[in-house]
Amino acid sequence: MMDAFIVYPNAYTSLGHGEHLWKNLLQGSCGLSSANTVYHELFPDNTSKIGALKDLANNDSRLLQILQLIENFLIPDEAEICQLILGASSLGDLEGEFAGDPYGCITHYLQKNKPSIAKNFSGVISSACSSGTDVLSLAAIMVHQHKYDAIGVLAVDCLDQGKLLQHVTLGTQGQDRARPFDVNRSGTSFGEGGGFAMVVNSNGLKKLGADHVFKIHGFGMSCDAQHITAPDETGEIPALAISRALTASGLSANDIGYINAHASGTPINDQVESIALHKAFGKTLDSIAVNGTKGAIGHLLGATGLVEAILACWSLSHQNAPGTVGLENKDESLNLPVTIGGLTKKILKPIGLSTTFGFGGVNSAIVIESLY
Amino acid sequence: MDNLNCFFSFYSIPDDRIPVPELLKNKDKRADSAARVAVQAAANALTGISAIDLTSLNVVVVNREGCKDHISKVTNGIKKNQPAQGFFVRGGPQTLATYTALALGSHGAAFTFVGDQKILKDAITTACYLACNTKDGATLLTAIVKKNDAGYQASTVLVLSNNHRFETIFSSLEQKMHNHLSHAFDMEIVQ
């Protein structure tokens, strides 16, 4: 069992942040907007939905603007005690000074705006869409090993127009919107934003008066290693990440009450995730509340893992899973107990799982419990 | 230190003309030069080592710059509204780890720490934990540095566990690993 806890989790998305974000999710609201209203010049006729943040300029580093936008909302004063700051991102900007260099961008931002914690920033975890989940897990390792008592994890990513162009061409951006596990799903809705949390051990916890504490029981990672662009269609290797997370936690499938699924809404990824969940949970899956949030906030790229783990924390503490916005007609062939958009589902056990599956075949799962 | 075995290796190439590594030839030939270095360094590190369970081999890479060649192609393409195929899977720093895993056929963790020498100690902690907390676990930890815009050097530590729970690594071994990985940052390329 790991000596690792999450405190002060918060996320900033196109649907808001903090309590406002949580209420919007419960109400089944959607923060997505049409691509042509955000990037009119490049996509004048594209009405597919994206989770872009409002009022960002197109002629400056989008990642830097997002960092500046979220800093006052996400990073609490308590972060001053963090002995290490770890970032998570995928590619960040694709143009300009920080093209493909989120490490450089976050370093620049922290030195300019948060010098007191900039000195403890050491690097960025990069594992594509799993980056945000992995940064939580790696921070858990380090506090568990008592290398540090408190670590701040900051996951952030942006959707500039060049990146959207890539995804539209690739076919991963859905034709209309993310419809996770829906029979009419056609791709995801990419988005942007960020999340921040502190990961502490028992010593770190004693120094803080956190109102809500979430225990990290364990995590699991795997890599398909079969094709650089296509996922493992058998679901065997993604299932390995989930079963490793349960084993590392010393828990069984019966202990899990909630799953925040990756639920990207692409035809193949949802199918593979469904197979992996069935392999890892068997018949127990029927009794678990399952949802996905990309239909409400978008797929936040390298930040998605941390943001969704944070939303999982909130769901567990409220014992309530928001519905899966965008899901209207369940794909019955997937046979998942996933909650339809606009509804909510009571979570019966305080322990949950958050999964992410990234490009390059990286799979990650983390087990979290709401303590108080 | 009886619960960890470490094997050290070093790889360098003096220019950017890096051939597709043999292990990738039948899988994907479009890896960025930095990713090719990662794969070649891994292949060299595992030469002569047979007792590794690829199901649980973790690949961890430390690198500062990522796949700059590929990012440049993507950025230049965007200026002409031309998308680049597989821009994520071939362009992100994670590629250094995922291409290595693809080449080796390993199914443990695969991720990249983006940073400089400052992050090495955290990478070492992570690598050892991952090796020791999976059955028959092992981690291939590689630091890759591009030197003076021409050529690369890579220091690799293969960490093998003897199926003991990892509590703490002795400072002497940690220091030895750190010194070896730092070579990638410090040493000049031998022509």
Average pLDDT over residues A162-191: 94
Stretch(es) of chain A classified as CATH 3.40.47.10:
5-206, 214-370
Residue B158 contacts residue B49 (beta carbons within 8 Å)? yes
Average pLDDT over residues A103-109: 97
Q: How many CB pairs under 8 A join A and B?
A: 175
> Residue A360: its chain B contacts at CB < 8 A?
88-89, 92, 94-95, 98, 110
Give CA–CA dist A13/A192, Å, rounded. Answer: 7
Q: What's the pLDDT at A304?
A: 98
Nearest CA in chain B to A92: B92
Q: What's the pLDDT at A59?
A: 79
Q: Tell me which of 3.30.70.60, 3.40.50.80, 3.40.47.10, 3.40.190.10 is the CATH number of domain A5-206.
A: 3.40.47.10
CA of A181, closest CA in chain B: separation in Å? 24
Average pLDDT over residues A307-328: 98
For helices B68-79 and B33-46, give the axis angle rounded to 10 degrees: 160
Indicate yes or no: CB of A222 within 8 angstroms of CB of B133.
no
**What kind of architecture, by CATH, is found in domain A214-370?**
3-Layer(aba) Sandwich (3.40)
Average pLDDT over residues A175-200: 98
Lowest mean pLDDT among A65-74, A132-141, B181-190: B181-190
Give CA–CA dist B161/A236, Å, rounded. Answer: 25
What is the number of other CB atoms lying within 10 angstroms of the CB of residue A252?
A: 11
* DSSP SS3 for B57: strand
Q: Which of B68, B106, B125 sits opposite A223 (nearest CB)?
A: B106
Tokens 């942040």 belong to which residue? A17
Examine the pLDDT at B11 and tell me if it is beyond 90: yes
Q: Which of B75, B81, B88 sits opposite A95 (nearest CB)?
A: B75
Dihedral pair phi/psi, residue A367, rounded to 5°: -105, 125
The overall average pLDDT reported for chain A is: 96
Which residues are CB-contacts of A46 (< 8 A; sequence separation ≥ 6)? A34, A35, A36, A168
**How sure is the predictor about B167, in pLDDT bands with cuts at 50, 70 and 90?**
low
Q: What's the pLDDT at B83?
A: 76
